[in-house]
Amino acid sequence: MRQKAWVVWISIFLFLSPSCRPAVDHEPQSRSVPDIRSEHYVVSESRITVRRVVDGDTLILSDGMRVRLIGVDTPETKDPHRPVQYFGREASEFTRQHIEGKPVRLEYDWQRLDKYGRTLAYVYRLPDNFFLNAELVKQGYGHAYTRFPFKYLDLFRAYEREAREKGVGLWKPASGG
């Protein structure tokens, strides 16, 4: 009996030990946010224009680059296998009104591309530095996307919590009818 318990404890230790688990390609080795002063956080120096808004959290720039906003997940409008999700059109329209055809500055985090090859970025409208990613969450057009660590994770969580408490956007109470 003692030998079985010993084997169980060793198995648990090995399972919980990060050095003994295989690395997963689609997830970072560390769940903590890297040091924001590191070379991973690069701000683009070039000004570029948003050519088209695909949906609330995906853009196509004037140079053809496809950008996925970091830290925000808006309801889907373009998935061919599902109907348009609740508040998806509103999120897309918000993004379109605030960013389409406008010059932007990009800021990158620790990961530059997603699994679909899209550039991951924080997007700031110029010249006023309107922070699109944050405003989408703050105004209730999307969720804080917290599956992977990012520089503004705690801030975006707070924005989502505030939007829920205020009942704005996605969190607006259903009207009786």
How far is it, in rounded angstroms, from Cα 140 to Cα 143?
Answer: 7
The dihedral built from the CA positions of residue 119, 122, 123 and 126, taken in this order, carries a sign that is negative
The CA-atom distances, in angstroms, between 45 and each of 27, 42, 98, 107, 142 are 28, 9, 21, 9, 28
Give the whole-angstrom CA distance, residue 110 versus residue 28: 10
Give 20: exposed, middle or buried? Use CB within 10 Å, 0-12, 13-18, 19+. exposed
CA distance readout (Å), 113 to 15, 91, 98, 164: 30, 23, 24, 30
Find the radius of gyration of the CA atoms of the chain: 20
Structure tokens at 170: 């996605």
Which residues carry out catalysis?
68, 76, 118
